[in-house]
Structures are given as C-alpha cells and as structure tokens.
Amino acid sequence: MLWTIISFIGFTIAVAVIAYFKTKDDDQTTAEGYFLAGRGLPGIVIAGSLLLTNISAEQLVGTNGQTWASNMSAMAFEVVAAVSCLILALFAAPRYLKSGISTIPEMLGIRYDRMTKLWFSIAYIFMFLFVQIPVILYSGSLVFENIFGLSGILGCSKLQPIVILCIAITIVGSCYYFREKN
C-alpha cells in the first residue's frame, strides 16, 4: 500500500513538473491558447489526448467492473470509441483546426444558424449535468468507499460515505471552477 501511494505521488509530481515546463511560455490567457494549445499540436498528440479524455470514472469503474463481473462484451463500445477518436484526430481535426473553429457549437452556428448553436449548447450542458456528472460522482465515490472502507472506519452504512464523498468531490470541483473564474 505504501509503494502504491509513493508511486502515485511521484507520478503526479512528475506530470505537474513536465506540464509546467512545457506550458510556461505558452499564452494561456485566450481560449485558443488554453484549450487548443495555440493550434500547434500534431494530429497524433490530439489523438492521444482525445483517447485519454474519453477514459473517465465511468469507464475505469463501470466498464471494467461490468467486464470483470460478466464478460468482455461490455467493453466492445470502447474499442469502437478508440478507433473513432483516432480517425477523428488524424483526419478531421487538422481540417477543423485550420478552419479557425474552436468548438462544436461554433461550427454548428456557422453551418446552420445561431439558434441551432444555442440549442445544441443548452442540450449538451443539461445532458452533462444530469447524465454524465452524477454517474462520475457516484462511481468515483464508490471507488473511494471500496478502496478505503470508509463505512467500516466510520461505523455507518455504505451509502453515507458515498453521499459525503459525492458532496466533497462536488465542493472541490466547484472551488477549482470559481478559482479559475476569479
């Protein structure tokens, strides 16, 4: 257990140091500089980034747990997602970046109209808030409960630490959000 904690802290520090030195000279005050790295990344880096951002708590907990409990069929859609992300990054992303578009809603606004852009943005935000974030919070809390056994330590039901961890993760995420806004 100690080796796991030491290696986690070591890799986290290594990633932070590498990220700092790679981005210290970049202009991150604009959306293009912050989100698109100034449009200077090659396709393979974009492909790797898309592939890694596609992996979240849902996949690490839900898909892997379902695969362990039943069979590999639960992971079939992730294989297709990986291939789709690579195709998107290697073929579509270079054209997308050259056109000067930063977001999918921006592209829809140019292709269709302002209302399509607005409705897509609203639908995506609500879908993210009510579908994806609750699953991620719950599965992340479930992992902490199963790793650290908080219900045994606190002498309570398994639901209470999960609810407390969901609230704590939400508060920490909100603090990061509001810190960036100010």
Position 17 scores a pLDDT of 93
DSSP 16-54: HHHHHHHHTTS--SSHHHHHHGGG---HHHHHHHHHHHT
The pLDDT, as a whole number, for residue 133 is 81
Alpha-carbon dihedral sign for residues 74, 79, 85, 88: negative
How much of the chain exceeds pLDDT 70, in percent? 91
For 39-94, what is each residue's pLDDT tens digit? Answer: 777 767 777 777 777 776 667 777 777 777 777 777 777 777 778 877 877 787 77
pLDDT of 119 reads 94
Mean pLDDT, range 143-164, rounded to an integer: 82
Please check the confidence at residue 156 and state whether its pLDDT lies above 70.
Answer: yes
Any idea where the domains of the chain sit in the sequence? 103-182
Between 63 and 174, residue with greater pLDDT = 174
Per-residue pLDDT tens digits for 8-35:
899 999 989 988 887 777 777 776 676 6
22 vs 118, more confident: 118
Which pLDDT score is estimated for 169?
Answer: 82
Looking at residue 67, its pLDDT comes to 76
- Report whether pLDDT(128) > 90: no
Report the Cα 56 to chain-centroid distance in Å: 6
For the purposes of burial, counting CB atoms within 10 Å of the CB of 165, is it exposed (0-12), middle (13-18) or buried (19 or more)? buried
Measured CA to CA, the distance from residue 27 to residue 110 in angstroms comes to 26
Q: Measure the CA–CA gap between 152 and 158, rounded to whole angstroms.
A: 8
Question: 40 vs 126, which has greater pLDDT?
Answer: 126
Q: What is the mean pLDDT of the chain?
A: 80
Determine the Cα–Cα distance for residues 180 and 21; give it in Å rounded to an integer.
Answer: 20
In terms of C-beta distances under 8 Å and separation of at least 24 residues, what long-range contacts does 157-164 make, across chains too? 162/138
Express as a percent the part of the chain with pLDDT over 90: 13
* Range 105-121 average pLDDT: 90
